[in-house]
Amino acid sequence: MQVVLLEDVKALGKKGEIVKVNDGYARNFILPKKLGVEATAKNLNDLKLQKANADKIAAEQLAAAKELAQKLEGLSITVKMKAGEGGKAFGSISSKEIAAAAAEQLNLDLDKKKLVMGEAIKTFGTHEVPIKLHKDVTGKLAVKVVEA
């Protein structure tokens, strides 16, 4: 029997694949647990429509991410940090503070987990912070750190 998988099944296949399995395995395991459906013409057509819809949504998300990356290219935010003796930086700027400053200054809702920072910023000046907007798109935001 041919089955269209609705979820990933270990040692059988990934979601959306059409696999050939024994009738008993399909009737007793895959179909009752809603891991797959029988590969009829209607189910194959539904699968094709779902894939087309998923591809369209993925393309829209990629376009939105590219647009946001271009928008971020010319923008910068200013973050204040305390200075110790002799103008030396006291403390550090984390991704949480950068995300909060972007929301406040630019009205951009950036997820702090998407900011790709090796470690916190510990010096004054302008720093380029990469932002992972999509698996294929990385934008850069200029962060200017000044004395408070």
**Are residues 53 and 76 both part of a single domain?**
no
Q: Tell me the residue range of the domain where 58 lies.
A: 2-64
Strands (E) located in 6-136: 18-20, 36-38, 76-81, 125-134
Of 69, 73, 58, 44, the closest CA to residue 142 belongs to: 73
Confidence of residue 30 (pLDDT cuts 50, 70, 90): very high
**Are residues 71 and 137 both part of a single domain?**
yes
54 token code pair? 């998923």
In the predicted model, is pLDDT for residue 112 greater than 80? yes
User: What was the pLDDT predicted at 99?
Assistant: 92
Give just the sign of the alpha carbon dihedral 33, 14, 56, 63.
Answer: positive
In the predicted model, is pLDDT for residue 65 greater than 80? yes
Burial class of residue 143, CB neighbours in 10 A (0-12, 13-18, 19+): buried
Q: What is the mean pLDDT of residues 75-102?
A: 88
**Are residues 76 and 135 both part of a single domain?**
yes
User: What was the pLDDT predicted at 61?
Assistant: 94
**Are residues 60 and 70 both part of a single domain?**
no
Q: What is the mean pLDDT of residues 80-106?
A: 88
pTM equals 0.69
Give just the sign of the alpha carbon dihedral 94, 100, 104, 107.
Answer: positive
**Are residues 71 and 110 both part of a single domain?**
yes
